[in-house]
Structure 1
Amino acid sequence: MSAADATVTNPPDVKTTSLPRILVLSPAGQVYQKDCVRWYEQPREQVISNYFNIGDMVVYDSTLKMLDFAEVRGVVIDKIVEKEIEAYNNGYDYFIIRASNFIHNDMDWLEAISVLERVPLPIYAIGVGAQSSGKGTYKLTGKNLRFWKMVSERSNVIGVRGTYTADVLSASGIKNVEVVGCPSMFRSRRRDLNLKAPTGDLRRVAFSIRREADGTYAADVARYRAIQRDFLLNVAAHFDTTVTIHGEPEEKAFFFQDEQGMNNARQVFRHEGWFSPETEEQMERLYQEHLFFFLKVEEYDQFIRTQDFALGYRVHGVLPALSNGVPGVLVRYDSRSGELADTHAIPSIELKSTDRVDIHDLIRNVDFSEFNRIHRLRYDKMRFVLDYNNMKHRL
């Protein structure tokens, strides 16, 4: 039995009665209306030029949707600020670590360890993940091992996104782990999703792209991009397709219709082969007329509910769609997307070529029976982990 499948049977009694005040390590956006998240206020030029992953914002928003609390406050970890340390020690109840690819040896936690040493509160992680492009057993070392051992010691259990992450922590000597999946799957707080393959007139498809990639995500980046582009064009040829973008500056330049940015982006696209001589006209039309981008997570919820199907390469294009009751298929392209697809039994495909993909058959024949069954189990496991850590929640 792996660390992922170990189950603690009796959660401790919840002793607190008032709603907690929560400290957040590495928040991803500004909180408004208590549990809603939007990106930081920035000039349009900065929003366009800076790469930031919208998925981080979705996870943060989803985490807040699950929890019950009085207040959240971001933690300063780039330096030690005495007034901040004093504030953290004055009436806050615990730290949470936002779910992300935080478990690896290249993670720079800056002064987080020093902050945590001076603020002796519980530390809870829900849905965190490990990622490594190498093979074999991956173990944490140095400051990252020290950080996660501190988290382990100050929580009853660490909630991770899948078995790979659980095995990395287990190999590093951290055993109090449970697989919960990704908070984005639980943002609607619906235990029964009961998704089915679309029937009738299916017209609107949301296709999430991930153009930016390196060796961590794909062994042959040029081929990965070409397959993704051809798959997108295949979908767009058959359905009213909206391309959802998730952080790349070049795509944002098109969304905001920034002329200089679009000219620069075209050069990048041609250099990368994303725009080829045969496909540039089609891709240009999609980019000019069919892009969707959001700076508030609730905007994605509103958009995706207008769609008949979600498809693509972004975990946080497909998972929040499923949570909103919109059927979808995830393209597996790296260890993270594969781990989440396995954890939640999300219908998924791996594309080595697009030559034989019948997009109508793919969508019409997708089977959600295992996903629906597993979702109920994962929902219960997430609720169990929150209870076991004495975290008030709304699941």
Structure 2
Amino acid sequence: MTIPVVVLGVGAQSNLDYDLGRMAALDAPVTRFVRAVLDRSATIGVRGEFTERYLNSLGFHDVEVIGCPSMFMYGDRLDVSKGPDRLDGNSRIAVNASRSALGAGDVGGIVTSNFERYPNMRYFAQETKDLELLYWGDRSGVNDQRNRMPLHRTHPLFQENKVRVHLDPATWIESLRDHDFSFGTRIHGNIAALLAGTPAVVLCHDSRTLELCRYFDIPHRRIRDLSAETDAAELYAEADFTAMLEGHSERFSRFTSFLEKNGVDHVHMDGEDAGASFEERVRTTVYPPGVDAWTSAEEGVSARIGWLRRDHADLVTKTSELNKKVRGLEKKVQRIDRLEKRLKRLEASAERTPYRRARRLAGRVLRKIGLRR
């Protein structure tokens, strides 16, 4: 590389115990990557303590913990405060969940049990799979597929149209402003809430969520320590945002210092507008609204559309697999053709050897003298 390279908050992926052994398979490529980065920059920025420890174990010490830039959307300002003293059945609650957390705890049970307590809860989904479910539906109703995790359109959150996928941070954050509380396993789903001023608690399921929560003092719980009946009201009551807010300015200064050390100018430098012009452009831009569940007035139409779409996707997959097999057979036929041609050439070449010619001559002589029929 011949250009400057700056890494802003890379994170290593392991479990809640910060097991370095799980990273062993990546040691060689990570070493090459980090060495290349540090050849072109002063330091490398990491999300938290675990990633710093991992890179230190590989022999790299030009490492700085700077968290994730998303927390500094408003610079050194962060305003989060609790509204009601306690949550009740009328509270507006935002929940988020990740499929990758399913093996770490009963995230589906937590989501579903809280929706039963808080009917005004809304699920803020973040994956393309969820967007497809909202836009097209699926055949879970026909196949009777059900899960406490909102994976299918049969889940009550989908049935009651309480699921949203936002295509832009601006609408996502704005939508979270009128909620009383946010919780779940997605770190950026809850950071979006915090940026909106809404209290949030992260249910940590891996090292990447845990180290960020520790660095920023974001209230959090380890999901493996929670039961399916964990109540959002308890998470809300226990959440203390004092350390997060009091340390935010110092963490922001550390982040901007990292940028300047690596030669990166930014809007918070002297003489700049701290991002005001950009925020004004965002404010005056019309973004598409969050996507909700597609439904139909005619009962059963959405299920049929979902069935057709899934059936089509299955056919496309099967066709692709068959095409691969056909291409494989075609290659085998081509190899057989080449071998047959080579064999014929060898046979023709053998016919032209001195031994063959002598044998044919001897045969003709023997036939002439009557010794060979």
Paired with 2:260 and 2:159, the residues of 1 have a C-alpha distance of: 45
Structure 2: which amino acid aligns with 1:195? V
Give the corresponding residue for 1:383: 256
Structure 1 pair 372/147, CA: closer, same or farther in 2 (3 Å)?
same
Q: Kindly indicate whether the alpha-carbon contact (under 8 Å) linking 1:152 and 1:174 is maintained by their aligned counterparts in 2.
A: no
Match of residue 122, structure 2, among 231, 242, 252: 242
Give the corresponding residue for 1:228: 107
Give the corresponding residue for 2:39: 153
Q: Kindly indicate whether the alpha-carbon contact (under 8 Å) linking 1:197 and 1:367 is maintained by their aligned counterparts in 2.
A: no
Give the corresponding residue for 2:241: 368
The SS at the match of 1:185 is helix
Structure with the larger helix share: 2
Paired with 1:307 and 1:273, the residues of 2 have a C-alpha distance of: 23
Structure with max Cα Rg: 2
Match of residue 198, structure 1, among 83, 93, 101: 83
Which blocks of at least 5 consecutive residues in structure 2 are unaligned?
269-373
The reply on whether 1:182 has 2:68 as its aligned counterpart is yes
Match of residue 172, structure 1, among 49, 53, 58: 58
Q: Kindly indicate whether the alpha-carbon contact (under 8 Å) linking 2:182 and 2:198 is maintained by their aligned counterparts in 1.
A: yes
Match of residue 335, structure 1, among 184, 198, 207: 207
The reply on whether 1:324 has 2:196 as its aligned counterpart is yes
Indicate the percent of aligned positions where both proteins have the same amino acid: 25
Kindly tell me the number of residue pairs found equivalent between the two proteins. 259
Structure 1: which amino acid aligns with 2:58? S
Paired with 2:142 and 2:96, the residues of 1 have a C-alpha distance of: 19
Give the corresponding residue for 2:139: 263
Structure 1 pair 266/165, CA: closer, same or farther in 2 (3 Å)?
farther
In the TM superposition, residue 248 of structure 1 has moved relative to its aligned partner by 4.8
Give the corresponding residue for 2:19: 135
The reply on whether 1:298 has 2:170 as its aligned counterpart is yes
Structure 1 pair 355/164, CA: closer, same or farther in 2 (3 Å)?
closer
Structure 2: which amino acid aligns with 1:130? A
Indicate the larger mover: 291-300 or 309-318: 291-300
The reply on whether 1:126 has 2:18 as its aligned counterpart is no
Give the corresponding residue for 1:284: 156
In the TM superposition, residue 380 of structure 1 has moved relative to its aligned partner by 1.4
Structure 1 pair 267/367, CA: closer, same or farther in 2 (3 Å)?
farther
Q: 1:33-83: per-residue Cα shift (whole Å, max 9, x none)?
A: xxxxxxxxxxxxxxxxxxxxxxxxxxxxxxxxxxxxxxxxxxxxxxxxxxx
What is the RMSD of the two structures over their aligned residues, measured on CA atoms?
A: 2.9
Which blocks of at least 5 consecutive residues in structure 1 are unaligned?
1-115
Match of residue 347, structure 1, among 205, 213, 219: 219
The SS at the match of 1:159 is strand
In the TM superposition, residue 320 of structure 1 has moved relative to its aligned partner by 2.2
Give the corresponding residue for 1:36: none
In the TM superposition, residue 175 of structure 1 has moved relative to its aligned partner by 1.4
Structure 1 pair 390/235, CA: closer, same or farther in 2 (3 Å)?
same
Structure 1 pair 269/382, CA: closer, same or farther in 2 (3 Å)?
farther
Paired with 1:265 and 1:389, the residues of 2 have a C-alpha distance of: 54
Q: 1:206-262: per-residue Cα shift (whole Å, max 9, x none)?
A: 10111x22xxx56xx2x73xx21221123222251110111151x323321x14xx2
Paired with 2:265 and 2:141, the residues of 1 have a C-alpha distance of: 46
Structure 2: which amino acid aligns with 1:167? R
Structure 1: which amino acid aligns with 2:267? R
Structure 1 pair 266/374, CA: closer, same or farther in 2 (3 Å)?
farther
Q: Kindly indicate whether the alpha-carbon contact (under 8 Å) linking 2:153 and 2:159 is maintained by their aligned counterparts in 1.
A: no
Structure 1: which amino acid aligns with 2:13? Q
Q: Which residues of 2 match residues 209-220 of structure 1 at below 5 A?
A: 209-210=97-98, 212-213=99-100
In the TM superposition, residue 181 of structure 1 has moved relative to its aligned partner by 0.5
Paired with 2:251 and 2:4, the residues of 1 have a C-alpha distance of: 24
Structure with the larger strand share: 1
Structure 2: which amino acid aligns with 1:363? Y
The SS at the match of 2:266 is coil
Q: Kindly indicate whether the alpha-carbon contact (under 8 Å) linking 1:255 and 1:288 is maintained by their aligned counterparts in 2.
A: no
Paired with 1:322 and 1:338, the residues of 2 have a C-alpha distance of: 16
Give the corresponding residue for 1:207: 95
Paired with 1:184 and 1:265, the residues of 2 have a C-alpha distance of: 38
